[in-house]
Every structure is written in structure tokens, then in C-alpha cells.
């Protein structure tokens, strides 16, 4: 008889994950490496200008070892490392702060978004998609998305003979603001101007950062007289109260130019009710931009609609 034997295969189960442990990462939402993801899996992650840190950012406003993020297993804590220009979380200076999902960490002019949770990869891809439509600094729409929406709105408005107006806005004397108070203050002003405007326009309006210190607002179902009144309201809103950054008061004003779709039709010599007019976003924008130029040439801090 042969030897009877039983072979037992032992399957080693992978070690259980510590239920308290969390995955987390930082995603660059404003800065040179836009969209880049940095894992926070190690016990600590140092951010700074030095080549020896974990996340290197080559900016003069950033200290060599600027900040550190500690992975405590069940939470993540950011600490400022006595940097020259400070570490900010959601626009507030911090020395130490426990981060929560969605927090924005600003170091120099670079802004990271902190992501954590059970499906961090999905959150990351959602954030990357959002970056294709949104300006990382101001969190309003970007130029690319704006032009796409503008083309759609122009087509709809011409098809149904509806009103459509456009406001171009530019922060007055923005370069002197940067030169006097620093680029971090300039970034803060851009973000705060955007937030003030967002709070005083309709949900259907399309508000975007067009470039630099220039913003644009597309107003469906609004004629030019109404748009001029809205622009004046925004101008007064910005002028009414200075911005405060690092205990310094910064007065800010806007110049604004206004145009509407009917003028665009006239500028290309199209019949008022024609539905086959070529859509040229830049020709429409130029009408408002020319008036913005007049507002600046006329002394700034004003609205020009003619």
C-alpha cells in the first residue's frame, strides 16, 4: 500500500489594515505643477524650497523648510516651520492645524488641496476634472470654460432672440498692489474680489477669471441698461471696503466695460432677428474690452457702457 497523505495548503491572509489609518494626498490646484499629486503615506512630509525636502517648490517666497505635514494615523496635522511668509489653511495663517478633507493649504503662491477618505483615487480624478473648468487661485471658472459657455449662450440667445450682456472687469493699479504689498497680498486680493462678486450675481451668470487681474461676467436674459446697473453695483461693492491682509488695509477699485449681444449683431452688420449669424466670442468680448479701456483711460474706478 502506498502512504496515504493529506496535503494542506495554508493561505496566509494579508494583514488587516488599521481601521484608524487614512489615505491622504495633496493636489496642486494653483502653481507650476498644476494637478500633481503628492502622497502623505509616510510619517511626515516636509515642504519647502530646499532640494532635501519631500515636496520642493522653487519660489522665493517659500522658506527652505517651510512646513511639515505629520501623518498621525487617524489624522493629518500641518505645522509651520517658523517660515518667513507663513503657512495658510483656507486663507488663515496657522502654526499648527489638523487638516480635514477639502482644506486648501497655501505655501508661498502654491495652493494644495488636501484629500483624504476611503476612495482617494476617485476624489483625485474628480479634482483633476474640476481643474479643467476652474481657476485654482480664485475658485471661479477659468477662461477655457468661460469661452465654451459663452459660445453656447450666444447661440441660444440668437436662436431665440434673447438678451445677453457681458461685463469685463479689471482691478485698478494691480501691479502697484503687488509691488507695494507683495505677491501673496496680490493673490489674496484676486481671491477676495472674486468672492465678493460671486456673492452678488445670479446662479445662471457665468463668472470667470479671464487672465491676470481681469474678470468677466456673462449675463443671460439681461439687457445692457440692466447690465450697467449690475456693473455699477459691483464697482461700489469692491470700493466700499478695503481688503485686509496681514493687518494691512489695501484699498481696491475696479474698472468695468459693458456690452450686449444686440451691439455684437450690429458690429457684424447682422439683421436683428437673424438666426444664422456667425458666433465670434472674441468680437463680442472686444466690445466690452474696448469700453473697459475707456474706463481706465477716463480715470479708473468707473463703468463705461457706451
How far is it, in rounded angstroms, from Cα 117 to Cα 292? 46
Which pLDDT band, with edges at 50, 70 and 90, does 250 fall under? very high
CB atoms within 10 A of CB 232: 15
Please determine, for residue 274, whether its predicted confidence score (pLDDT) is greater than 90: no
Cβ burial, residue 306 (10 Å; 0-12/13-18/19+): exposed
Q: What is the DSSP letter of 141?
A: B
C-alpha cell at 217: 461676467
Average per-residue pLDDT in the chain? 91
Spatial contact of 89 and 107, defined as CB atoms under 8 Å apart: no
H-assigned helices in the chain? 120-131, 143-159, 174-181, 183-198, 224-240, 261-267, 281-297
Q: How far is CA 73 from CA 24, 40, 42, 43, 187, in A?
A: 10, 11, 10, 8, 34
H-assigned helices in 21-168? 120-131, 143-159
Q: What is the DSSP letter of 82?
A: S
Q: What pLDDT is stored for residue 119 in this prediction?
A: 87
pTM score, whole prediction: 0.83
The residues facing 94 across adjacent strands are 87
Residue listed under C-alpha cell 476612495: 119
Which of 84, 85, 54 shows the shortest CA–CA distance to 71?
54
pLDDT (tens digit, 9 = 90+) per residue, 95-119?
Answer: 999 999 999 999 999 999 999 988 8
CA triple 142-299-237, angle to 5 deg: 55
Domains, the chain, in order of start with CATH, read 24-132 (2.60.200.20), 134-304 (3.30.70.270)
Q: What pLDDT is stored for residue 12 in this prediction?
A: 43
Q: What pLDDT is stored for residue 115 in this prediction?
A: 97
Which pLDDT band, with edges at 50, 70 and 90, does 190 fall under? very high
Percent of the chain with pLDDT over 90: 86
Selected catalytic residue, list 59, 127, 153, 213:
213
How far is it, in rounded angstroms, from Cα 258 to Cα 302? 11
Which pLDDT band, with edges at 50, 70 and 90, does 226 fall under? very high
pLDDT (tens digit, 9 = 90+) per residue, 122-154?
Answer: 999 999 999 999 999 999 999 999 999 999 999
Active site residue 232: no
Which pLDDT band, with edges at 50, 70 and 90, does 15 fall under? very low
Which pLDDT band, with edges at 50, 70 and 90, does 271 fall under? low
Spatial contact of 260 and 163, defined as CB atoms under 8 Å apart: yes
How far is it, in rounded angstroms, from Cα 250 to Cα 230? 24
Which of 94, 45, 53 shows the shortest CA–CA distance to 71?
45
Amino acid at each position: 500500500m502506498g502512504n496515504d497523505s493529506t496535503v494542506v495548503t495554508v493561505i496566509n491572509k494579508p494583514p488587516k489594515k488599521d481601521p484608524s489609518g487614512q489615505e491622504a494626498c495633496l493636489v496642486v490646484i494653483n502653481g507650476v505643477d498644476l494637478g500633481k499629486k503628492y502622497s502623505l503615506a509616510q510619517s511626515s512630509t516636509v515642504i519647502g524650497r530646499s532640494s532635501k525636502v519631500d515636496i520642493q517648490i522653487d519660489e522665493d517666497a517659500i522658506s527652505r523648510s517651510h512646513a511639515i505635514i505629520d501623518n498621525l494615523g487617524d489624522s493629518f496635522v500641518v505645522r509651520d516651520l517658523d517660515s518667513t511668509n507663513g503657512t495658510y489653511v483656507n486663507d488663515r495663517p496657522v502654526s499648527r492645524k489638523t487638516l480635514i478633507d477639502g482644506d486648501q493649504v497655501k505655501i508661498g503662491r502654491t495652493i494644495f488641496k488636501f484629500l483624504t477618505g476611503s476612495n482617494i483615487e476617485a476624489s483625485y480624478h474628480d479634482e483633476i476634472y474640476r481643474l479643467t473648468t476652474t481657476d485654482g487661485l480664485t475658485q471661479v471658472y477659468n477662461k477655457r470654460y468661460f469661452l465654451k459657455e459663452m459660445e453656447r449662450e450666444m447661440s441660444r440667445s440668437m436662436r431665440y432672440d434673447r438678451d445677453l450682456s457681458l461685463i469685463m472687469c479689471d482691478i485698478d493699479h494691480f501691479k502697484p498692489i503687488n509691488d507695494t504689498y507683495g505677491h501673496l497680498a496680490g493673490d489674496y486680493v484676486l481671491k477676495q474680489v472674486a468672492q465678493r462678486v460671486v456673492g452678488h450675481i445670479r446662479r445662471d451668470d457665468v463668472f470667470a477669471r479671464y487672465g491676470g487681474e481681469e474678470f468677466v461676467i456673462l449675463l443671460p436674459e439681461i439687457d445692457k441698461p440692466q447690465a450697467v446697473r449690475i456693473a455699477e453695483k459691483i464697482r461700489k461693492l469692491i470700493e466700499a471696503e478695503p481688503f485686509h491682509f496681514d493687518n494691512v488695509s489695501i484699498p481696491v477699485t475696479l474698472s468695468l466695460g459693458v456690452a450686449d449681444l444686440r451691439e455684437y449683431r450690429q458690429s457684424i452688420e447682422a439683421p436683428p432677428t437673424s438666426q444664422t449669424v456667425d458666433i465670434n466670442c472674441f468680437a463680442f468680448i472686444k466690445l466690452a474690452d474696448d469700453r473697459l479701456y475707456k474706463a481706465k483711460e477716463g480715470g479708473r474706478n468707473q463703468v463705461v457702457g457706451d
